[in-house]
Amino acid sequence: MMQPSSMRDKSVIVTGAGGGLGRATAEALTRLDANLLLVDIDADALAETKSLLASSQLSTFTLVQDLSSQSDCYAVIDYALKQFGGIHALCNIAAVLFPANVSDFTSQQWESTLAVNLSAPFYLIQRALPALEESQGSVVNVTSCAAHLGQPYIGAYSATKAGLTQLTKSLAMEYMNRKVRFNVVAPGGMATSITHAMRNIKSPDPQLLGRMAPLRGMVEIEEVAHTVAYLATPAASSFHGAVINIDQGITLG
Ligand SMILES: NC(=O)c1ccc[n+]([C@@H]2O[C@H](COP(=O)([O-])OP(=O)(O)OC[C@H]3O[C@@H](n4cnc5c(N)ncnc54)[C@H](O)[C@@H]3O)[C@@H](O)[C@H]2O)c1
């Protein structure tokens, strides 16, 4: 990966910043001198992220918001514009995962998965596009190796991640002759809280679970965060419509 460029005087929105990859991305962007708007539904986790960045002299704002609603997504962009006057990058990292047998999956879990993982990036991007076009900015959508594999017990999650991949490619084509860049980072398994939910599956088939295990181990969160941050910077000017797998080879089959 090439070196990212400085984000001094540039503003970036990071969703899911209370958690593993979102927090690590906030740290990576802080090292690049970005001004940040950190968004999460979990107020305590968000406050912890902010305290970890506290030694920084930069403008870092936090916003507790439930991204499963369109109006909250629009409010995030409006808040960023009010604080910064512009937006240079949007990193869509927030997601939910409810692993379960399909027969146990509730309609509430289905709707929530679609809303947070797929609709929220769409509404955030839609509202941010005029500002991103003005700044010649960048959208980085975080998907998953699950977008490319048939993995058991996570059908709704996989469907949203595949959908977000195609949304990104479609927008990249739509904006081919305009100045906003759209890219995807698709990680494999990282040691964060989202993976703990896998323990909740009732009587999983161990043979099928074994197929989800990475042969080369877990993916380093910081490597993924560095890549997301790089794509957010103007240094990644030729990356447009890319899907970057960082997955220890799990998508090889
Ligand atoms: N950890 C992995 O193994 C793995 C693998 C592939 C892809 N990913 C992707 O990486 C990204 C980051 O996940 P993570 O591993 O850091 O997990 P995480 O659970 O630590 O982070 C997800 C964050 O999203 C926030 N969030 C959930 N619902 C929200 C809502 N309605 N509104 C606002 N914020 C909300 C959570 O509070 C949490 O802080 C996700 O897009 C995930 O799908 C993770």
**What is d(CA 96, CA 197) in angstroms, rounded to the nearest whole number?**
10
Stretch 162-189: mean pLDDT, rounded? 98
Q: Which pLDDT score, from 0 to 100, does residue 200 have?
A: 87
**CB of 192 sitting under 6 A from ligand 1:** yes
Q: Report helix, strand or coil for 55.
A: coil
Q: Which pLDDT score, from 0 to 100, does residue 227 have?
A: 98
**CB of 121 sitting under 6 A from ligand 1:** no
Stretch 142-160: mean pLDDT, rounded? 97
Residue in 38, 27, 33, 37 with CA at minimum distance from that of residue 5:
33
Residue 1 confidence (pLDDT) above 70: no
Place of tokens 């403008």: 59
**CB of 190 sitting under 6 A from ligand 1:** yes
Ligand 1, atom 8: closest residue by C-alpha = 144
**What is d(CA 181, CA 200) in angstroms, rounded to the nearest whole number?**
38
How would residue 253 be classed by pLDDT, with cut points 50, 70 and 90? confident
How would residue 46 be classed by pLDDT, with cut points 50, 70 and 90? very high
DSSP 116: I
Ligand 1, atom 13: closest residue by C-alpha = 21
Q: Which pLDDT score, from 0 to 100, does residue 5 have?
A: 92
Residue in 194, 236, 37, 240 with CA at minimum distance from that of residue 124:
37
List the beta bridge partners of residue 184: 141, 243
**CB of 96 sitting under 6 A from ligand 1:** yes
Catalytic residue among 74, 123, 153, 157: 157
Stretch 6-11: mean pLDDT, rounded? 95
For the CA of 23, the closest atom of ligand 1 is 16
- Can you read off the two tokens belonging to residue 123? 């509404």
**CB of 118 sitting under 6 A from ligand 1:** no
Domains and CATH numbers, the chain: 11-246 (3.40.50.720)
Ligand 1, atom 3: closest residue by C-alpha = 189
**CB of 137 sitting under 6 A from ligand 1:** no
Q: Bigger pLDDT: 241 or 54?
A: 241
Stretch 158-187: mean pLDDT, rounded? 98
Q: Which pLDDT score, from 0 to 100, does residue 199 have?
A: 87
**CB of 80 sitting under 6 A from ligand 1:** no
Stretch 13-39: mean pLDDT, rounded? 97
Q: Which pLDDT score, from 0 to 100, does residue 45 have?
A: 98
Q: Report helix, strand or coil for 178.
A: coil
Q: What is the pLDDT of residues 66-96, one digit of tens each?
A: 999 999 999 999 999 999 999 999 999 999 9
How would residue 57 be classed by pLDDT, with cut points 50, 70 and 90? low
Active site residue 230: no
Q: Which pLDDT score, from 0 to 100, does residue 177 have?
A: 97
Residue in 33, 29, 112 with CA at minimum distance from that of residue 68:
112
Stretch 58-67: mean pLDDT, rounded? 94
Mutation to probe ligand 1, out of 194, 200, 222 (largest number of atoms < 8 A from CB) = 194
For the CA of 46, the closest atom of ligand 1 is 39
Residue 10 alpha carbon to ligand 1 centre in Å: 24
Q: Which pLDDT score, from 0 to 100, does residue 218 have?
A: 96
How would residue 216 be classed by pLDDT, with cut points 50, 70 and 90? very high
Ligand 1, atom 19: closest residue by C-alpha = 194
Q: What is the pLDDT of residues 177-200, one digit of tens each?
A: 999 999 999 999 999 999 888 888
